[in-house]
Amino acid sequence: MKKLWKNKTTRKSFVTYAFVVLAYVILQSIAAGGGMKSSLKGMLVPICAYVVMAISLNLVVGISGELSLGHAGFMSVGAFTGVTAAIALQNAIPNAPLRLVVAMVVGAVFAGIVGFLIGIPVLRLKGDYLAIVTLAFGEIIKSIFNNLYVGMDGKGLHISLLEDKTHLMEDGRLIIAGPMGIGGIQKIATFTAGFILILVCLFVIFNLVNSRSGRAIMAIRDNRIAAESVGISVTKYKMMAFVISAAMAGAAGTLFALNYSTVVANKFDFNTSILVLVFVVFGGLGNMLGSIIAAAVLTVLPEALRGFATYRMLIYAIVLVLVMLATNSPRLKALLARLVPGRKEEGTDG
Amino acid sequence: MSFLNFVISGISLGSIYAIIALGYTMVYGIAKMLNFAHGDVIMVGAYVCFFAVSKYNLPPLVGVLLAVVICTLLGMTIEKLAYKPLRSATSLAVLITAIGVSYFLQNAALLLWTSNPKIFPSFFKRAGADATQAVNGVSLFGGQLRISYVTVVTIAVCLVIMVALTLFTSRTKMGKAMRACSEDKDAARLMGINVDSTISLTFAIGSGLAAIAGVLLCSAYPTLVPTTGSMPGIKAFTAAVFGGIGSIPGALLGGILLGVIEIFAKAYISTQMSDAVVFAVLIIVLLVKPAGLLGRKIHEKV
Amino acid sequence: MKKILCILLAVVMVIGLLAGCGSSAPATSSATAYKLGGTGPLTGVAAIYGNAVKNAAEIAVEEINAMGGLQFDLRFEDDTHDAEKAVNAYNTLKDWGMQISLGSVTSKPCEATSAETYADRIFALTPSASSVAVVSGKDNQFQMCFTDPSQGSLSAEFIADRGLASKVAVIWKNDDVYSKGIYETFVAAASEMGLEVVSDTTFADGNDKDFSVQIADAQSNGAELVFLPMYYDAASLILTQASTAGYSPIWFGVDGMDGILTLEGFDTSLAEGVMLLTPFNADSEDEKTAAFVKKYQEKFGEIPNQFAADAYDCVYAYKKALEAAGANPSMSAQELNDLMIKTFPTMSFDGVTGIGMTWSSDGTVSKRPMANVIQNGTYVLLS
């Protein structure tokens, strides 16, 4: 145990787990005691979803070192396929928590498949070109869901693109209605489910990072050519990180969508992708605990600023810029280093 | 004839993307950062010109000049306050800061100028008795083909700017300093180039161009709201990458091609899926030419 | 890592303190005023609609409070036209102690908040969220505006009855619930009425600047009338570009078109001859309307659009219903909810968006839309 504790990465992952569990226990006990405001209570599930989005994107941006601007696209795939599954299975699986799990698995699988298909062309590119192609795929996914019609009746699922040609029978239900998205969703997402999803994702990521594959991924990030020269398959390992990340985003999407009565494709646009990227950069590249805290804080922040009324989003923007300056400017960094002695810089930045 | 009309609409839309893309590409080439606040500087430029002309009845040319001056100052201020302290930070940190600046500009505009749309005055028309009789374009082939003056002006301005920028970067001392910075900042510094002021100058030029882009954007598509710049900004960024980011002729080519593809996708494939088609074409182009149409392929050193 | 943590926590704490100060402004809310809440986009792309509703509701509340009788305490929260943020805003209002609600301004966010208000048993009367999903299956959700389908079918009927055209084109917004809702029923009703839809084109966010293709499609297919189920900002671009292209069909709009004449800097001669079905007319000689428009202009420097008018009516409708039901502000939200569910379907209300409005118990309003045509920069009622 002592030996384990001395290992920096293991220690870090234990701290992260402990933080998440502690946060869950505290929040859950406040909620159980009835002392929690509805505004915070209503944000618990979306916070979980954004945390998963942030750590999954951190896997791509921080660990694998590729800038992705279309992460919301995978969330979208997960949201639409997962919710469709939840609605379609409403009678087959009456147990809500079980249905939620199945829906999240469906969302994750579909997002993983889409991630794989997108990964084939995307991972051949580098740097900003890779970024713009992920942005493009995000927009394409949005466009497709804005024009997708999925209905279900006694004969099964009917899918059509561009216009509603599902021709449902009397008892049928149009699940995805193009630009109107999905409506009348049963809200079965829970904070506990979100908490478990976060733990599962952390478990997967930490195990991956500490494994042979994880070291290969980071080796490619740090020096692609050197990694290639010792026989590491760049495509394989990059793809591994990309698909795992997409699947996690899919599960997060399902969780998120099942927390509201309605979901539309426009929710998962470029701005949402950017928002998640902000969480990742804010929390520190490769730093999972940082991502978790950043996602939670930045989700709560605009709500906490409601007291400023019309100046709310302006102040949010100023805070964003100031924190970026405070954490990244060398002059301020040096000042902080002097104030907090005995700290070493953690060079996780790619 | 409708085909030609679509080509003209495409070029007209594309030339506006191109002029915005020029600003993106310049800043990227020198500072190696994606300045996502560029679209919002465009919006500020359009508002300044709108108020100068519509509220204070200044002549259009004065309005445009005022917009250029204010945007240049704004760009330099943003650079000094938000980007300069991050010169040594990762490019991602700067990217997020730029997004913060973009939020700031949009929300400041919302507070200052409200969310009600303003209709931008049209500068480019010959006066008539009223709007329906005013001539705002030239007709060819007995009215079957129409080219609006805005399109003509936009394309002309675009070409002039492109030539001017190319000459500036290849002939003048400051332009050469810019290119040196974009190649290698440390080496440039060793050669006695003031890298900081060169980057500031780049931002000043980029923001000045943004003001002109804003005026032209709103002359062609006159609804002006605080979020006017954001979508064209993203499209123009796409255009810049399409043409090869960092390349000045690439921005022009990428912008115009993007506009034409967008209009063609609407006309011949589907209005519903046109954005998807545009981005699909972009992906295919980047797969064939991974550095964009006119981008330079950088060979990695081992 | 610690550093980031410290900074973030410090920032949050400072903001929490500041926010606390901000909201602890003297609250006039004792048991003497009804706490009325609503959400809408005050920032972002749809900010214009949310702000119109907020401004008009403020005017109505001020007027009513000045009368001395029944008192309202209004709080309006930003939802940035997003379902997630709307639920957050709604929860903030719930924490504040909202007793009755104005729902949300735009349709999709309102669908999300209406599920919440339904579950929490808080009565909501939305000024402008017009999709059917907002009210369907929820006994305590009411609308002040027409539902989208009724606008679509009414428009088709009007065009067919008047014989305005036989070949029509539709341009609609492909990622917008409002536009899509009207479009669907319009096309269905049009084919029943024997109108031929010869051109059917769309646009979407980020693709809403250039309409040359859509206009050319309508023109080349010989459409005599173009139906525009959309808001006036996009419509103004279509009118401008069609004029450049030399195309001048009959333009037919819906209530979202209202506001086009008051667009700052818009050349109203471009809108000459545009027809629209709208319940509100800012130029009306009606005494109530004139007073409202004057007050709105004085206070906010703009002419109110139909969103504002609907919101103004909402507050007055609440006043009437609360008085009729004999409610008092010390009642709980649930008690008021039950009273309002009973009262709204039984009353008839005269406002600036219509005379003799009634509600059916499913929450939809019935009022007569007025067909207007724009002549010399003002609405003229088509008899």
CA distance C20 to C14: 10
Compute the nearest-CA separation of B243 from chain A (Å).
11
Q: In chain B, which residue's Cα lies nearest the Cα of C376? A: B130
pLDDT at C27: 42
Is C4 touching A (CB cutoff 8 A)?
yes
Considering its fold, how many domains does chain B have in total? 1
Q: Are A30 and A36 in contact (CB under 8 A)?
A: yes
Contact C1 A336 (CB under 8 A): no
Q: How confident is the model at residue C20 (pLDDT cuts 50, 70, 90)?
A: very low
Q: Measured between beta carbons, which residues in chain A are less than 8 angstroms from residue B290?
A: 124-126, 129
Residue C224 near residue C241 (C-beta atoms within 8 A): no
Contact A62/A56 with Cβ under 8 angstroms?
no
pLDDT of C259 > 80? The answer is no
Give yes or no for a contact between B25 and B222, defined as CB atoms under 8 angstroms apart. no
Q: For residue C170, list its beta bridge partners.
A: C200, C227
Which bin fits A230, alpha (ψ -120 to 50), beta or left (φ > 0)? alpha
User: Is the Cβ pair A323, C180 closer than 8 Å?
Assistant: no
B86 and A324 within 8 Å at the Cβ level: the answer is yes
CB atoms within 10 A of CB B76: 16
Residue B144 is predicted with a pLDDT of 66
ipTM of the complex: 0.84
Query: Is residue A290, in this structure, part of any structural domain at all?
Result: no
Contact check, Cβ <8 Å, C112/A307: no
B220 neighbors B154 (Cβ within 8 angstroms): yes
CA distance C348 to chain A (A): 31
The predicted pLDDT at position B4 comes to 83
Cα separation of C105 and C314, whole Å? 12
Q: Do A139 and B108 touch (CB under 8 A)?
A: no
Interface membership of C22 toward A (CB under 8 Å): yes
Asked if C264's CB is within 8 angstroms of B9's CB, the reply is no
Tokens of C53: 């509703």
Interface touch A129/B107, C-beta < 8 Å: no
d(CA C257, CA C179): 12
pLDDT beyond 60 at C22: no
Which C-chain residues 126-165 have CB contacts (< 8 A) with chain A?
131, 133, 137
Domain interval for residue B48? 2-288
Answer for the pair B210, B218: CB distance below 8 angstroms, yes or no. no
CA atoms within 13 A on the CB side of A121: 20
A16 domain-assigned: no
Q: Does A147 touch chain C if contact means CB atoms closer than 8 Å?
A: yes
Q: Does C309 touch chain A (CB under 8 A)?
A: no
Contacts of B2 in chain C (CB under 8 A): 216, 220
Question: Where do we find the tokens 């062309």?
Answer: A121
Residue A200 lies in a domain: yes
Nearest CB to C95: which of A39, A147, A301?
Answer: A39
Any A CB within 8 A of C205 CB: yes
Residue A220's identity, in one-letter code, is I
| DSSP state letter for B52 | I
Residue C278 to chain A, least CA–CA distance (Å): 24
Instruction: Report H helices in C193-286.
Output: 212-220, 232-244
Predicted pLDDT of residue A51: 95
Which residue among C203, C205, C233 sits closest to B117, beta carbon to beta carbon? C233
Quick check: do C30-146+289-366 and C150-278 share a fold?
yes
How would you classify the pairing of strands C71-78 and C33-40?
Answer: parallel
Distance from CA of A278 to the nearest CA of B (A): 6
Would you tell me which CATH number, out of the four given (2.60.40.420, 3.90.1150.10, 3.90.660.10, 3.40.50.2300), belongs to the domain C150-278? Answer: 3.40.50.2300
Give contacts of A308 with chain C, Cβ < 8 Å.
18-19, 22
Q: Say whether residue C26 is in contact with chain A using an 8 A CB cutoff.
A: no
HSE toward the beta carbon, residue A212, CA cutoff 13 A: 3
Residue A325 lies in a domain: no
- At position A89, the amino acid (one-letter code) is L
Lowest mean pLDDT among A146-155, A162-171, C289-298, C374-383: A162-171
Whole-number pLDDT of residue B86: 85
| Mean pLDDT of all residues in C178-184 | 87
**Mean pLDDT per 10-residue section of chain B, whose length is 302 residues:** 81 88 86 85 93 88 93 92 84 87 91 84 61 57 71 87 89 88 85 88 91 89 86 87 86 91 87 85 86 72 54
- Cβ of B92 and A285 within 8 Å? yes
Q: Select from A129, A224, A330 the Cβ nearest to the Cβ of B241.
A: A129
- Taking the Cβ of residue A43 and every Cβ of chain C, the question of whether any pair is shorter than 8 Å is answered with yes
- What's the distance, CA B146 to chain centroid? 25
Task: Report the gap between the CA of B180 and the closest CA in chain C (Å).
Answer: 36
Instruction: Find the mean pLDDT for residues C321-325.
Output: 87
Q: Do A262 and C137 touch (CB under 8 A)?
A: no
Do the strands C100-104 and C33-40 form a parallel or antiparallel pair, or are they unpaired?
parallel
Inside any domain, residue A332: no
Distance in Å from the first CA to the final CA of chain C: 71
Read off the tokens for B97. 């800061």
Share of chain C above pLDDT 90, in %: 12
Q: Find the closest chain A residue to C173 by CA distance.
A: A179
Q: Does B119 contact C45 at a Cβ distance shorter than 8 Å?
A: no
Domain assignment present for residue B14? The answer is yes
Using CB atoms and an 8 Å cut-off, which of residues 344-383 of chain C contact chain A? none
Give the DSSP H or E segment for C123.
Answer: strand C123-126
CATH classification of C30-146+289-366, choosing from 3.20.20.70, 3.40.50.2300, 3.40.50.720, 3.40.50.300? Answer: 3.40.50.2300
Q: How far is CA B301 from CA A223, B244, B297, in A?
A: 11, 21, 13
Give a yes or no: residue B64 inside a domain: yes
A:C CB pairs within 8 Å: 137
- Provide the shortest C-alpha distance from residue C113 to chain A (in Å): 8
CATH number at residue B113: 1.10.3470
| Inter-chain residue contact A293 with C5, CB threshold 8 Å | yes
Q: What is the pLDDT of residues C26-72, one digit of tens each?
A: 344 456 888 999 999 888 777 888 888 999 999 999 998 888 888 88
Interface contact A260-C112, CB threshold 8 A: yes
Q: Does C20 touch chain A (CB under 8 A)?
A: yes
- Chain A, residues 232-291, CB within 8 A of chain C, namely 256, 260-267, 282-284, 287, 289-290
Q: Answer yes or no: is pLDDT of C204 > 90.
A: no
Which portions of chain A are predicted below pLDDT 70? 1-6, 165-171, 332-333, 335-350
Any CB–CB contact under 8 A between C203 and chain B? yes
| Interchain proximity B276–A285, CB inside 8 Å | no
Tokens of B69: 């001056």
Q: Using the beta-carbon criterion (under 8 Å), do B13 and C43 form an inter-chain contact? A: no
Size of interface A-B (CB pairs under 8 A): 124
Q: Is there a contact between C100 and C36 (Cβ–Cβ < 8 Å)?
A: yes
Q: How far is A229 from chain C (nearest CA, A)?
A: 33
Check if the beta carbon of residue A164 is closer than 8 Å to that of residue A178: yes
Higher pLDDT, C142 or C44: C142
- C148 touches C130 (CB < 8 A): yes
| Alpha-carbon gap, residue C154 to C141, rounded angstroms | 23
Which residue in A261, A268, A314, A343 has the most chain C C-beta atoms within 10 A of its own C-beta, making it the best mutation to test that interface? A261
**How far apart, in whole angstroms, are the C-alpha atoms of residue A321 and residue A307?**
20
Among C54, C213, C299, C305, the residue to mutate for chain B (most B Cβ within 10 A): C213
Q: CA-to-CA distance for B133 and B127, rounded, in angstroms?
A: 8
Q: Strands across the sheet with C365-366, in order?
A: C348-351, C354-359, C365-366
Q: How far apart are CA A306 and CA A327, in angstroms?
A: 25
Q: Kindly list the residues from chain A whose CB atom is less than 8 angstroms away from the CB atom of residue C90.
A: 42
| Rounded distance between C-alpha atoms, residue C376 and residue C373, angstroms | 10
Name every chain C residue with its beta carbon within 8 A of the beta carbon of B129.
none
Print burial letters for B148-180: b (CB count within 10 Å at least 16), e (below 16).
Answer: bbbbebbbebbeebbeebeebbeeeeebebbeb
Residue C25: pLDDT over 70: no
The whole-angstrom separation of Cα A289 and Cα A280 is 10
Q: Which residue has the tokens 């400023």?
A: A308
Which of A122, A123, A128 should one mutate to test binding to chain B, selecting the residue with the greatest count of B CBs within 10 A? A128
Q: Are A300 and C1 a contacting pair at CB < 8 A?
A: no
- CB spacing of A183 vs C78 below 8 angstroms: no
For residue B298, tell me if it sits in a domain.
no
Nearest-neighbour CA in chain C from A230: distance (Å)? 33
- Rounded to whole angstroms, the Cα distance separating A295 from A277 reads 10
Residues of chain C found within 8 Å of residue A147, distances taken between Cβ atoms: 174
The pLDDT, as a whole number, for residue C24 is 36
pLDDT for B241 equals 86
